[in-house]
Structure 1
Amino acid sequence: MAYYVHEQRRNYYVEFGGGRPVVLLHGIGNTGRAWSPQIAPLVAAGCRVIVPDHAGHGASTRIGAPLGIADLARDVIALLDHLDIERADIVGLSLGGLIGIELALGASARVGRLVLANSFPSTATDAFRALADQWATTFRAKDGPVVRFEGSWPFNVSAAFRASDEGTRTWQTWHGIAAMSDGASLAWIAQGVVDYDASGRLAQIAQPTLIVAGSDDRISPPALGQAMCEQIRGARFVEISGAAHISNVDSARAFNDALTDFLAP
């Protein structure tokens, strides 16, 4: 099956392989297709890989009101229930990392290991509020998701990746996904995720945790990842040289090495 229903929202997911379940959570404005470089390596490592589209994103149902981090985390729990999975490893990038933090804090028994990539613990800042307002305005404008994608692409992936054949293929695929996205739904997400703050609760995370940062990430710089790592007992920190914000894509080999090493049985 490709869908599950939670709170009258019909959300899309896809899964690959078998073994220990791993859920991959994407960033705002993106879809589960952003995790394509990780699927084969994780399956080869013996994982059951589960890749949802967040509400309002990709093939999931459009939304007409704000949804926050806690709402999106409850969607993940509903997906695990739908699949009869008691506990899964959670891998989240950017917005997906915030959802991972909320799951680790609010549904600890459902989370095995935790990977927070290019993420941050709080959206309760003036800078993020201004950014979210800008995103929402762009998303609601004509062809908003495409405009936002084209504008953010240089910040999200490295120059070396943008110049590569794989970068060109990824740009074309993601551009097409943006063209089919619902700008109003993405705007509601941008507004809904503001004012989440787990920065004072990271020490409560008990799961084995890996923090991944990109050396060239201007949205979630390595210093922020290191600070998060210092607050989570026993957490590991990996900085990927030359990676920008979507490090799993522009530096897939290094990202996959760190990920599969951490998730190894």
Structure 2
Amino acid sequence: MAYYLHEKRRNYYVEFGQGRPVVLLHGISNSGRAWSPQIARLVETGFRVIVPDHAGHGASARIGAPLGIEDLAQDVIALLDHLDIESAHLVGLSLGGLIAIELALTASARVDTLVLANSFPSTSTDAFRALADQWASTFRGNDGPVKRFEGAWPSNVSAPFRASDAGIATWQTWHAIAAMADGESLAYIAQGIVGYDSTNRLSTIEKPTLVIAGSDDRISPPSISRDMSLQLQCAKYVEIEAAAHISNVDSADAFNAEMIAFLVGTESIAQ
């Protein structure tokens, strides 16, 4: 099955492989297709890979009201329940990292480990509120998701990747996904995620965590990820040289090496 229902929302997911489950959580206005550089590597390493599209994103149904980080986290729990999965490794990038943090805080029994990539602990700052308002306004305009994608692309991935064959192919695929996206739904997400703050709760998270930053990430600078890793009880910090905000795509080999080594290492400890 490709869909599950939660709170009357029909959300899309796809899964690959067998073994311990890994759930990959994408960033705002993107989709599970952003994880294509990771899926084969995880499967060949022996993991069951589950890739959802957040509500209002990708192939998931449109939404008609704002949804917050807590709501998106509850969607993940509903997906795990739908698949009869007791717990899973969570890998989240940007918005996906916030969702993973919320799950570790409120449903820790469902979380084995965390990989927090190019993320941040709070959306309650004035700067983020202004950014989210700008996103929502763009999303609601004519061809809003496409315009936001085109404007954000240079900040999201590195210049060498943009010029590569893989970068051009990725641009074409993601551009088409943006062209089919529902701007109103994405605007509701942008509005709904504002005001979340886990900063003072990070120290309560006991799960093994890998925090990944990109040295050239202008959206979530390395200093934010480094600070998060210092607050978490059991965290390793890695900074990928020359990676931008979507480091799993523009620096896939380095990202995969760090992620796989971490997940395999924690699996070995658990056994």
Map of 2:76 onto structure 1:
76
Map of 2:159 onto structure 1:
159
Cα deviation 1:120-140 (Å, max 9, x = unaligned): 000000000000000000000
TM-score (norm 2): 0.97
Runs (5+) with no aligned partner, structure 2: none
1:185 equivalenced with 2:210 (yes/no): no
CA–CA distance in structure 2, aligned partners of residues 16 and 124 of structure 1: 36
CA–CA distance in structure 1, aligned partners of residues 94 and 56 of structure 2: 17
Map of 1:67 onto structure 2:
67
Map of 1:109 onto structure 2:
109
For residues 21-32 of structure 1, the aligned pairs below 5 Å read 21-32=21-32
Structure 2 SS opposite 1:131: helix
Structure 2 SS opposite 1:201: helix
Map of 2:139 onto structure 1:
139
How many corresponding residue pairs? Answer: 265
- What code does the residue aligned with 1:28 have? I
Cα deviation 1:6-57 (Å, max 9, x = unaligned): 0000000000000000000000000000000000000011100000000000
Map of 1:251 onto structure 2:
251
Runs (5+) with no aligned partner, structure 1: none
- What code does the residue aligned with 2:258 have? A
CA–CA distance in structure 2, aligned partners of residues 43 and 136 of structure 1: 36
How big is the shift at 1:115? 0.5
- What code does the residue aligned with 1:155 have? S
Superposition RMSD in Å: 0.4
CA–CA distance in structure 1, aligned partners of residues 245 and 157 of structure 2: 6
Cα deviation 1:147-189 (Å, max 9, x = unaligned): 0000000000000100101000000000000000000000000
CA–CA distance in structure 2, aligned partners of residues 206 and 145 of structure 1: 37
CA–CA distance in structure 2, aligned partners of residues 218 and 69 of structure 1: 22
Cα deviation 1:196-223 (Å, max 9, x = unaligned): 0000000011100000000000011111
CA–CA distance in structure 1, aligned partners of residues 50 and 206 of structure 2: 23
CA–CA distance in structure 1, aligned partners of residues 137 and 245 of structure 2: 22
1:226 equivalenced with 2:226 (yes/no): yes
Map of 1:205 onto structure 2:
205
How big is the shift at 1:234? 2.1
CA–CA distance in structure 2, aligned partners of residues 188 and 170 of structure 1: 26
For residues 21-60 of structure 1, the aligned pairs below 5 Å read 21-60=21-60
Map of 2:122 onto structure 1:
122
CA–CA distance in structure 2, aligned partners of residues 223 and 59 of structure 1: 34
Runs of 4+ aligned structure 1 residues displaced above 6 Å come to none
Structure 1 SS opposite 2:33: helix
| Identity level (%) | 75
- What code does the residue aligned with 1:245 have? H
- What code does the residue aligned with 1:106 have? T
How big is the shift at 1:233? 1.2
